[in-house]
Amino acid sequence: MNLKKLAADRAVEWIEDGMTVGLGTGSTAYWAIHRIAERVKEGLNIRAAASSIRSEQLARELGIPFVSLDDIDRIDLTIDGADEADDRLNLIKGGGGALLREKILAAASDRFIVIVDESKRVRTLGAFPLPVEIVPFGSRLTLNRLTALGGNPVVRTSDDGSRYVTDNGNWIADCRFGSIEDPERLQALLNEIPGVVDNGLFVGMASAVVIGKSDGSVEIMEP
């Protein structure tokens, strides 16, 4: 049973005719994009914006109509995955490398629906390394500041061993802070560091977390 697909199919039910929909990035958002495309073929009338080049390419290939972010003021609903979600609906995102664009879309959305399988639900964030997007210029200085915060940063590489570069031309430092008891404070401290573009903590942004469970059910957590 594909738990990610289970959660994605349930989340897509919230999409209605006439909506502008934000599309996330990653293995779970992949299933949501496929289900949205099926509904478009069934007659659903929407327009979409994506948080990454690869999600946009997939959606266009599947026939989902697109709109430029420069042509809209708000997004009705964004569906995206997460690497971790706690019971307060705080998230770690960015495993797919698109955290900045994902956060821009989420912040512009009336509703931000997060889809995960049950393995991603945690009591406290932090088992998954926290992605932090940094600019290449002065990266050693930025990494030193992340180290001083206790993050033990490791600059992400691609499968071929080359430096991973985001769609924005930046790097990702994956940080291990351990148990993150106060994600709001850590988020603020990280974003005060010159050279940090943004980080993968999504605090107080999710409208709902949809969880695909191994027994075939779907759990929905809301604030």
Which has the closest alpha carbon to 223: 210, 198, 211, 206? 206
Residue 93 placed within a domain:
yes
The verdict on 118 and 8 lying in the same domain is yes
Q: What is the pLDDT of residue 136?
A: 98
CATH of the domain at 39: 3.40.50.1360
Counting the structural domains of the chain, the total is: 2
The verdict on 144 and 63 lying in the same domain is no
Residue 162 placed within a domain:
yes
The verdict on 109 and 12 lying in the same domain is yes
Q: What is the pLDDT of residue 42?
A: 97
The verdict on 104 and 147 lying in the same domain is no
What is the Cα–Cα distance from 118 to 24, expressed in whole angstroms? 19
Which has the closest alpha carbon to 111: 27, 45, 14? 14
Which pTM was predicted? 0.94
Residue 223 placed within a domain:
no
Q: Which domain holds residue 172?
A: 130-198
The verdict on 145 and 184 lying in the same domain is yes
DSSP SS3 for 21: strand
The verdict on 118 and 11 lying in the same domain is yes
Which has the closest alpha carbon to 103: 213, 17, 182, 196? 196
Which has the closest alpha carbon to 152: 175, 132, 181, 129? 175
The verdict on 155 and 179 lying in the same domain is yes
The verdict on 102 and 173 lying in the same domain is no
Q: What is the pLDDT of residue 168?
A: 95
**Cβ-based burial of 189 (10 A; exposed 0-12, middle 13-18, buried ≥19):** middle
The verdict on 24 and 95 lying in the same domain is yes
Q: What is the pLDDT of residue 1?
A: 79
The tokens describing 89, both together, are 């609906």
- Residues near 47 by beta carbon (within 8 Å), at least 6 away in sequence: 20, 21, 65, 66, 67
CATH of the domain at 156: 3.30.70.260
Which has the closest alpha carbon to 27: 58, 48, 49? 58
What is the Cα–Cα distance from 62 to 84, expressed in whole angstroms? 28
Residue 221 placed within a domain:
no
Q: What is the pLDDT of residue 204?
A: 96
- Residues near 160 by beta carbon (within 8 Å), at least 6 away in sequence: none
Q: What is the pLDDT of residue 169?
A: 97
- Please list the pLDDT of the chain residue by residue as tens digits (223 residues): 799 999 999 999 999 999 999 999 989 999 999 999 999 999 999 999 999 999 999 999 999 999 988 899 999 999 999 999 999 999 999 999 999 999 999 999 999 999 999 999 999 999 999 999 999 999 999 999 999 999 999 999 999 999 999 999 999 999 999 999 999 999 999 999 999 999 999 999 999 999 999 999 999 999 9
Cite the active site residues: 102
DSSP SS3 for 112: strand
